[in-house]
Amino acid sequence: MKIKVWINDKAIATHIDGDTMLIDVLREKGYKSVKCGCDTTNCGLCTVWLEGRPVLSCAVPAARADGKHVTTLEGVAEEAEAFGRFMAAQGAEQCGYCSPGLIMNVLAMAREMKRPTETQIKEYLAGNLCRCTGYEGQYRAIRNYLAVTQGDYQLFGKGEVIEGVR
Amino acid sequence: MYTIRTFKRVESLEEAYELNQKKTTTILGGGMWLRLGNRQIQAAVDLSGLGLDTIEETDDAFVIGCMTPLRDMEVHPGLNRYFQDMIRDCLKDIVGVQFRNTATIGGSLYGRFGFSDPLTALLVLDTTVEMYKGGMIPLEDFVDMPYDRDILVRVHIRKDGRRCAYQSFRNTRTDFPVLTAAVSSKDGIWRAAVGARPKKAALIAGAAKLPERPEKKDVGALAKEARDTLKYEDNMRASADYRKILTGVLLERAVEAVCGGMDHED
Ligand SMILES: Cc1cc2nc3c(=O)[nH]c(=O)nc-3n(C[C@H](O)[C@H](O)[C@H](O)COP(=O)(O)OP(=O)(O)OC[C@H]3O[C@@H](n4cnc5c(N)ncnc54)[C@H](O)[C@@H]3O)c2cc1C
Ligand code: FES
Ligand code: FES
């Protein structure tokens, strides 16, 4: 069947099979930030936005994206890079394989929630798995990114010094 | 993974129902569960063009379309205010936000999965599923009905002023639950359900005999009834014995949450 999808605001028409997944269309069209990290719909690496909402592109039938807007990391490159600097400042990544999915979900969270609490952050990101780290570096990077971009240094309070903000 | 020959976006429920009478047709909810199987689907019926993805609050109920993503229920202010955050509590640990943006309530209830968190929670509310041909069926009856070729159209949760609470135990967050429990109370009449035993959620009949403000021993007796009358099994997550112990713990916590504390004898 034929579908038309806006990928990062660019209209793309393509032919798909009934069981083609969104991730396959995205990779075929060159959006290689989108990767598959598991067989079980669990890891979050394949996260993209469908009409602005984070979804697992490995499990969304491509047919469901017909007429819709999809955003990948390539479409939010500037923000992704800005957040990436916070990650680097914390030495958060080891292999870095999990980062594209995490970044897409962090940016989605930042749009959806203002000044999320620690619990809210951890809940929102629970579906992004990392095999190398213990999440602590990422968490510090996220805190600092939110503190700077959402303009509230009080949020994480308790007189903590925010490190690594560049 | 499943295979799909044709992806059929239907224009009406009648069309969906007609198509679904064939064994080789499958209704696609979010497709999250289906995808992990290896069904060879001739026609996948997509209901997403029928406007069944909304949560409406009427004077006496919440009416939720079958294609509503779990996440929409989880963050719905009206639902959570009315049911004291129980809806959020029974959904928030399912895989991740991205997953819950796609998995639907229709697929979740139609599946009647043993591990289901929302099935356990909605059993203690006055919940009815609206089937296209079968009409309105109380969830407690639907749970034990055989899988047929009908379509779950909407879920109705009556606003009857019930107090309620949900508990689950997981070995690790976002994993399937080891045990689920939900309780509710209205005019001093209690309902309680236990699920993921790993058998699917069931109501405990004796809950109706609980006093208005149960004590620890009353909840202990309820847990014993659950252990004695419901089927518990081992699986890779936990043993039946462990689940039996958890039953008392989760029921107690849930009752305590509804009562805002509990009187302990000792
Ligand atoms: C990896 C993974 C982990 C999970 N963990 C949990 C968990 O911890 N707790 C929990 O409660 N749940 C869990 N689930 C289940 C999940 O929350 C959903 O309930 C499940 O994916 C089904 O919803 P769906 O929208 O994806 O339905 P689908 O997979 O599309 O459909 C499921 C079944 O229902 C049928 N169906 C769908 N919609 C309708 C309809 N409207 N009318 C009639 N039939 C219909 C389909 O034909 C299919 O047989 C998990 C699922 C997966 C894949
Ligand atoms: S690839 Fe792991 S959730 Fe999609
Ligand atoms: S840094 Fe290696 S998987 Fe996350």
* Cα atoms in the 13 Å half-sphere on the side-chain side of B262: 20
Average the pLDDT over A56-68 and give the result.
98
**Res. A160: pLDDT tops 80:** no
Ligand 2 binding pocket includes A43 (Cβ within 6 Å): yes
- Output the CA B111–ligand 1 centroid distance in Å: 6
pLDDT digits (tens, 9 = 90+) for A87-106: 999 999 999 999 999 999 99
Cβ of A107 closer than 6 Å to ligand 3, yes or no, is no
pTM here is 0.96
Q: How confident is the model at residue A150 (pLDDT cuts 50, 70, 90)?
A: confident
Q: Is A96 in the pocket of ligand 3 (CB under 6 A)?
A: yes
Q: CB-CB: which of B2, B6, B97 is closest to A127? A: B97
**Every domain range in chain A assigned CATH 1.10.150.120:** 77-149
pLDDT score at B262:
75
What number does the ligand 3 atom closest to the CA of A92 have? 1
- What pLDDT was estimated at residue A157? 40
The whole-angstrom separation of Cα A110 and Cα B20 is 41
* pLDDT band of A152, cuts 50, 70, 90: low
Q: Is the pLDDT of residue A114 over 50?
A: yes
Cα gap A65→B47, rounded to integer Å: 14
Nearest atom (ligand 1) to Cα of B70: 17
The fold for domain A77-149 equals DNA polymerase; domain 1 (1.10.150)
Q: A128 and B96: CB-CB below 8 Å?
A: yes
Q: What is the pLDDT of residues B198-227, one digit of tens each?
A: 999 999 999 999 999 999 999 999 999 999
Give residue A156's pLDDT band: very low, low, confident or very high (50, 70, 90). very low
Res A24 pLDDT > 80: yes
> Taking all residues of chain B, what is their mean pLDDT, rounded to a whole number?
97
Q: Region A75-85: what's the mean pLDDT?
A: 96
The count of CB pairs under 8 A between chains A and B is 82
Q: Which chain A residues have a beta carbon less than 8 Å from that of B36?
A: 40-41
For chain A, give every residue range classified as CATH 3.10.20.30: 2-74
The 3 state secondary structure assigned to chain B is CCEEEEEEECCCHHHHHHHHCCCCEEEECCCHHHHHCCCEEEEEEECCCCCCCCEEECCCEEEEECCCEHHHHHCCHHHHHHCCCHHHHHHCCCCCHHHHCCCEHHHHHHHCCCCCHHHHHHHCCCEEEEECCCEEEEHHHHCCCCCCCCCEEEEEEECCCCEEEEEEECCCCCCCCCEEEEEEEECCEEEEEEECCCCCCEECHHHHHCCCCCCHHHHHHHHHHHHHHCCCCCCCCCCHHHHHHHHHHHHHHHHHHHHCCCCCCC
Query: Is the ipTM here above 0.90?
Result: yes
Residue B148's CB is within 10 A of a number of other CB atoms, namely 11
Query: Which pLDDT score is estimated for B265?
Result: 57
Contact B96 A44 (CB under 8 A): yes
Q: Is the pLDDT of residue B76 over 80?
A: yes
**B168 touches B93 (CB < 8 A):** yes
Domain A2-74 belongs in CATH node 3.10.20.30: yes
